[in-house]
Amino acid sequence: MRTVQGSCDHVVVVGAGLAGLSAALQLAGRGRAVTVVERGVHPGGRVGRMDVDGYRLDTGPTVLTMPDIIEDAFAAVGESMADRLDLMPVQPGYRASFADGSGLDVHSDPDAMAAEVERLAGAGEAEGYLRLRDWLTRLYRVEFDGFIAANFDSPLSLLTPQLARLAAIGGFRRWDRMVRRFISDERLRRVFTFQALYAGVPPRRALAVYAVIAYMDTISGVYFPRGGMRALPDALAAAAADAGVEFRYGSAVSSLERHSDRVTAVHTDAGERVPADAVVLTTELPDTYRLLGRTPRRLLRLRAAPSAVVAHVGCRAVPNDTAGTGHHTVVFGRSWDQTFRDIIDDGRVMSDPSLLVTRPTASDPSLAPAGRDLLYILAPAPNTVVGDVDWVKQGDAYVGEMLDSVVNRLPQLGVDTEILHAVDPAGWERQGMAAGTPFALAHTFAQTGPFRPANVVRGIDNVVLAGSSTVPGVGVPTALLSGRLAADRITGMPSRHRKSQVVQT
């Protein structure tokens, strides 16, 4: 594995998102002095926050999985996640609501989930679910160390025994086709393939290696931090600060100072100069290329993932035992395949919407005023490169249509509603996100593993990249892994197994 050569005693991390916080913790735990430079006034990056009239909004991701990877970040500095973060299991992890009026609670417990599947689709499908569960678990175990949590120096890095095992169990076949081997009910197939939206590729075209996201959601389990998603970056930043990491908030990086093939300092728009032996950049890809003064050569043009319209809505609170009002509900439309054609191929809003409805107040009522619930409604949408939607003219009306769709399917959540905040692809673009998408680059084959933009920069010896647009990809667990992989590029890999230890190097 290629690593940064020369002195790396002081590392500057640009960005206090999850990738930057993870890198800072890993580096601090390995004895490096670390300064984090963040343009915002608090940590989190894409794990955004907003307070509106007594509501505490999460403006970024809302689904949290793989707590062992979060634990790994804390363990890097000898801390325990339990001492910093109150992480609550969400049970069931999801409620799937189908257009025919049927529904399914998605449990991580195999017996509970098999019983739900049998209730919905019969004993044969329940047996198929258990076989699918076994395959997803094997896929994760084979894939994690050798593919997800690995640095690649070239495509030849894939030629390992793990690759052969991954191919043997169908990892490089199509996601939808592999799921069909185990279950035939169309509703169930959606439950185990809708996660392809996160990867930005239709299930029928996505590699089965990305079915590992379904493992994270449906087997590893779904969690939620008390205080909202913002509690995660706050806890990581607090642990890092106590480990000696210096944070400089409200400092946007304006340029990098270079001598020959090394960056020697980071300059901010406030005129600060921060010396650096090595730099971790977690900036959006266009900003990264601007700061580096180069654009990598690629045979194929980078392809952005689809975007989303997100509406934050307040409504009258409903009891947690009210039917169909769990923490996460996936409201599926009838035309599932058409959904992907609409937003990925045709660049238009969904003609038959499928929506994610999150009610964080189901787990933490303190996130809304007394007697109120907080809803987060996400509609996949075309990004601004393929899309032909005038969001300035159509955005408000579309948010209204989203809310109407939710209320029609979940009328118990439609009492005394108020739209608190909304953001569409044009809004994400104004925040600096390439192609107006918070999901960065799509996980096509040409943008997977060693074919994804690398976390090392040709011609600059001491800059490493981290974040959604480099390896391993998009999502909360992968962002944390990205920071760890960046740290490995600077210090070399420490002696550890699955969980990090405090290592002085």
Instruction: For the chain, give every domain's residue range.
Output: 10-48+60-86+226-301+441-491, 110-212, 304-440
List the strands of the sheet with 262-268, edge to edge: 253-259, 262-268, 273-275
Q: Is the pTM of this model over 0.85?
A: yes
Cα dihedral: 398, 400, 402, 403 (round 10) = 170
Element of type H or E holding 409: helix 391-409
Distances (CA, A) of 253 to 38, 66, 291: 8, 32, 9
Q: Scan for tokens 């990598």, then name that residue.
A: 296
CA–chain centroid gap for 467, Å, is 10
Query: What's the residue count for the chain?
Result: 505
Confidence at residue 502, expressed as pLDDT on a 0 to 100 scale: 33
CA distance 363 to 360: 6
Of the candidates 220, 248, 241, which has an alpha carbon nearest to the alpha carbon of residue 84?
A: 241
Report the C-alpha gap between 425 and 431 in whole angstroms.
10
CA distance 81 to 57: 23
> H-helix or E-strand containing 229?
none
Asked whether the beta carbons of 36 and 248 are under 8 A apart, the reply is yes
Specify the pLDDT at position 323: 72
- Any idea which architecture 10-48+60-86+226-301+441-491 has in CATH? 3-Layer(bba) Sandwich (3.50)
Q: Are 201 and 439 in contact (CB under 8 A)?
A: no
The pLDDT value recorded for residue 334 is 94
Per-residue pLDDT at 263: 98
Which residues face 283 on adjacent strands? Answer: none
The pLDDT of residue 328 is 97
Nearest to 23 by CA among 262, 281, 204: 281
Mean pLDDT in order along the chain per 10 residues (505 residues): 94 98 98 98 97 98 97 98 98 96 97 98 98 97 89 79 89 95 97 89 92 95 98 98 98 97 97 98 94 75 94 95 87 93 95 96 98 98 96 97 96 96 98 95 87 92 96 95 98 65 31
Which residues are CB-neighbours of 66 under 8 A, at least 6 positions away?
216, 220, 476, 477
